[in-house]
Chains A and B, each alone.
Chain A
Amino acid sequence: MSDAVKANGEPKNYLNDTYGIKSWLLTLDHKRIGIMYLITLTAFFLVGGVFAAFIRLELMTPKGDLFEAETYNKMFTMHGVVMIFFFLIPSIPAVLGNFLIPLQIGARDVAFPKLNLASYYLYALGGMFAIAAILMGGIDTGWTFYTPYSSSYSNSFVSLALVGVFINGFSSILTGVNFMVTIHKMRAPGLTWFRLPLFIWGHYATSLIQVLGTPVVAITLLLVVFERVFNIGIFDPTYGGDPVLFQHMFWFYSHPAVYIMILPGFAVISDVIACFSRKRIFGYSFVAFSSLAIAVLGFLVWGHHMFVSGQSTYASMVFSFITFFVAVPSAVKIFNWSFTLHKGSIKLDSPMLYVMGFIGLFTIGGLTGLFLSTLGTDVHLHDTYFVVAHFHYVMVGGMVMAFLCGLHFWWPKMTGRMYPEGPAKLGVMFVFAGFNLTFLPQFILGYMGMPRRYHAYPEEWQALNIMSTAGATVLGLGFGLTIAYFIWSLFKGEKAPANPFQAKGLEWDIPSPPIAHNFEAIPIVTWEAYPYGPEEAASQSTETATEPAKEDEVV
């Protein structure tokens, strides 16, 4: 057995199991596919970041002196399209979900490994269309592609970008199907639903939304393409269509899409917070079911994006009312995490610092959403920088913080190397401070009435805009630093032990990085999730006692 287990003197693992570019591009290993997603996603994140930098540069001065109005329209559109469809939506599920779901449920791979690889290539192909649209001259409709502008008037490369998003949608659907079947069918013996880590529950709920929602937006965007090419009158009133119908069908997906982005974030936070406060998650089943509640309720509120677009007053009232309900399951999570911290023995390693940042920023992001779902205040705040600040608090303050949190927490497992703790702590500080400096002023600007999507503004708003641009610089430095030390750690980082954070979960019982098919023998699970604390540890003692011996055998 010994020579099969060693490669170049190192223990065999999924990274050194086979070599060559083909062994990566045609891999069916969920872990390698996760890594490929990580690399591609980071590239898109940088592209989207460059557009953000241009936006903030233009807004440093009240006059539109850096870009023409049309060019500026393209900047914010491409920032939104790239960041939402090609970074945020795939991010945690495609990278951490792919890598960890099989590990956490004790499976050797996802249910459909070939479909998993196909999802990656659909994502890459869709991304290529988007990049082509950008290179040929860009798109100027805003990431929401509202009709009738997108369908009848825009002269930019709308169809190309829409086809890209359409193709990317199938990547999302197939990943969702794959995860759902994997979680239903491939759990290790004894691993019942209520013994699953909350990471799995969060991803299950996410997959539900992906499967139920994405087909609608895909077809809607395709209809816009058909309308542009064949003038078929779905959205164009001159052919008997209705432009508001586009908004209904777009937001039917795109509000739940917010939860595609944030539920995996919740999933990460639950696992990390339990580990670093050494406690079982308070109210485990409430947190688990709140994910499902969000997945269902999230589909009933989309009209809150349409209060001022001619939607009937009655419909607006219904959508506003249900929106207040959707805040409840999110609040359940926030409160339960806070209770988990209560009397825990908290360790402030960098993943935990990201958790702290997440809880604060997501709460602000969520609560300002209630301002916007209130019928009266929305008329004042609609399409202002208040909205921009609100969703960046949810998506960057919430989702990106959670993604970075999970990346740090599982980096040793994924790469076999430790990230350097000092620079990591500095990175969190930069990201947190830079983020708040960027987006807090935008709440004020929005409240004062600065509209979004304009490249010029009255002079009295310049101070706040300069603060925002300065903050974006700090934020950019934080991201740059993080990417730099992650890459550094791949070569120079300390070798990671199997379980550097003394975390609980099946993925921590196997070596870092794991072997190609994850488990030498499929584990049998007899304990509840998160067995932190003395009494739970005792119940798991028989299994843990055998663990170190098993690992020695593998190495």
Chain B
Amino acid sequence: MSEHHVVPLKIYFLIFFALMIGTVLTVGAAFVDMGFMNTPVALIIALVKASLVIMFFMHVKYSHKLVGLFAVSGFFWLCIMLALTMQDYYTRGWGEAPPVEFLKEGAFF
């Protein structure tokens, strides 16, 4: 079973610092209009931050590979949900039904 891995305090503060930088970047990016890249950039920063939390704060980096596999499959299942839901919204225009209102407004890329 898992040996208790002691992480030096320095690592925690380093990660915390990185997360704060991520937050500043997100806020900063919100003031720059990158056109269709607005949402992807925000999502990529968020993804990096989430991975840092999962890997270090939640100790997945120091755990058995199986724990990592379960964490990744959780994320993969989220992707299934989003992908198969979006294949409906993005293809409504292909048939007869009009596209949904919030897509017109460009809230999503």
Which positions in A face B, CB cutoff 8 Å? Answer: 184-185, 212-213, 216, 237, 240, 242, 244-245, 248-249, 252, 299-300, 302-303, 306, 310-315, 318-319
Contact = CB atoms under 8 A, between A and B. Distances in A.
Contacts, number: 55
27 contacts: A212-B77, A240-B102, A242-B100, A242-B102, A245-B85, A248-B84, A249-B85, A252-B81, A252-B84, A299-B77, A299-B80, A300-B80, A300-B84, A303-B88, A310-B97, A312-B87, A312-B97, A313-B91, A313-B94, A313-B95, A314-B87, A314-B91, A314-B94, A314-B95, A318-B84, A318-B87, A319-B84
B101 interface: yes
A316 B95 CA distance: 11
A240 B102 CA distance: 7
A184 B77 CA distance: 21
Interface residues of B, number: 21
A368 B73 CA distance: 32
A313 B93 CA distance: 10
B32 interface: no
A140 B22 CA distance: 47
Given A303-B88, A313-B95, 8 more contacts: A212-B74, A212-B77, A237-B101, A249-B81, A252-B85, A300-B84, A302-B84, A312-B88
Nearest to A299: B80
Nearest to A208: B73
Interface in B51-100: 66, 73-74, 77, 80-81, 84-85, 87-89, 91-92, 94-97, 100
B37 interface: no
B81 A216 contact: yes
Given A212-B77, A249-B81, A300-B80, A311 B88 contact: yes
Contacts of A300: 80, 84
B1 interface: yes
Given A212-B73, A212-B74, A240-B101, A315 B81 contact: no
Nearest to B99: A312
Contacts of A242: 100, 102
A318 B84 CA distance: 9
B68 to A, nearest CB: 14
A315 B94 CA distance: 10
Given A184-B66, A212-B74, A312-B97, A303 B102 contact: no
A471 to B, nearest CB: 38
Given A216-B81, A300-B84, A312 B91 contact: yes
B79 to A, nearest CB: 11
A319 B80 CA distance: 13
Contacts of B91: 312-315
> By CB atoms of chain B within 10 A, which of A240, A311, A315 has the most?
A315
B100 A312 contact: no
A332 to B, nearest CB: 23
Nearest to A180: B70
Contacts of A319: 84
Q: Which 6 pairs from chain A and chain B are nearest by CB?
A: A315-B88, A314-B91, A313-B95, A312-B91, A312-B92, A248-B85
Contact of A303 (B73, B84, B95): B84
B81 to A, nearest CB: 5
A252 B85 CA distance: 9
Nearest to B77: A212
Contacts of A314: 87, 91, 94-95
> By CB atoms of chain A within 10 A, which of B73, B81, B88 has the most?
B88
Contacts of B84: 248, 252, 300, 302-303, 315, 318-319
Contacts of A245: 85
Nearest to B103: A242
Contacts of A244: 88
Nearest to A302: B84
Nearest to A252: B81
Contacts of A302: 84
Contacts of A184: 66
A302 B66 CA distance: 28
Contacts of A310: 97
A306 B92 CA distance: 13
> By CB atoms of chain B within 10 A, which of A216, A244, A303, A314 has the most?
A314
Contacts of A249: 81, 85
A360 B80 CA distance: 33
Contacts of B87: 312, 314-315, 318
Nearest to B107: A240
Contacts of A240: 101-102
A238 to B, nearest CB: 11
A306 to B, nearest CB: 8
Contacts of A212: 73-74, 77
Contact of A312 (B1, B73, B74, B94): B94
A319 B102 CA distance: 24
A185 B73 CA distance: 19
A398 B100 CA distance: 39
A149 B64 CA distance: 47
B101 A185 contact: no
B98 to A, nearest CB: 10
A43 B75 CA distance: 38
A213 B77 CA distance: 9
Contacts of B81: 216, 249, 252
A344 B87 CA distance: 48
Nearest to A216: B81
B80 A248 contact: no
A108 to B, nearest CB: 16
Contacts of A185: 1
B80 to A, nearest CB: 6
Contacts of B88: 244, 248, 303, 306, 311-312, 315
